[in-house]
């Protein structure tokens, strides 16, 4: 009977611990995905801020290596495009009209 109580207590403890971890993992994933969406959308300044916030909040996350890589990539891209290290980051704005111009690539 004592072993049965101990087993129930152990299972209850594990269930509570697992439930407590899920919201943090969800927040961690959401913050990382927000940074990724900004990065892929060309908002390097916003992405860098989110990646930095992510690394402060979750330094031991499995995604932290990727976040650090993205920050280095953003710095490298900005430096190569702007010729300045650590300056303001450009924001890529997609044109509303994605149709190719008729004069570009036309045979001459």
Residue 56, classed as helix, strand or coil, is helix
Burial of 90 (0-12, 13-18, 19+ CB in 10 A): middle
Label residue 48 exposed, middle or buried (CB < 10 Å: 0-12, 13-18, 19+). buried
Q: Check if the beta carbon of residue 91 is closer than 8 Å to that of residue 44.
A: yes
Confidence of residue 4 (pLDDT cuts 50, 70, 90): confident
Place of tokens 């995905």: 33
pLDDT tens readout for residues 90-103:
566 666 665 555 55
At 58-88, the pLDDT tens digits run: 999 999 999 999 999 998 887 777 666 555 6
What pLDDT score does 78 carry? Answer: 78
The whole-angstrom separation of Cα 36 and Cα 1 is 53
pLDDT in tens, 13-65: 655 555 555 556 778 889 999 999 999 888 888 999 999 999 999 999 999 99
């Amino acid at each position: 009977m004592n072993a049965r109580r101990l087993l129930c207590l152990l299972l209850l403890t594990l269930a509570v611990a697992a439930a407590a971890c899920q919201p943090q993992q969800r927040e961690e994933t959401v913050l990382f995905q927000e940074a990724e969406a900004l990065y892929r959308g060309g908002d390097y300044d916003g992405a860098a801020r989110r990646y930095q916030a992510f690394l402060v909040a979750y330094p031991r996350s499995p995604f932290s290596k990727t976040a650090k890589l993205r920050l280095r990539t953003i710095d490298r891209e900005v430096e190569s495009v702007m010729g300045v290290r650590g300056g303001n980051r450009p924001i890529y704005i997609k044109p509303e009209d994605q149709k190719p111009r008729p004069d570009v690539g036309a045979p001459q």
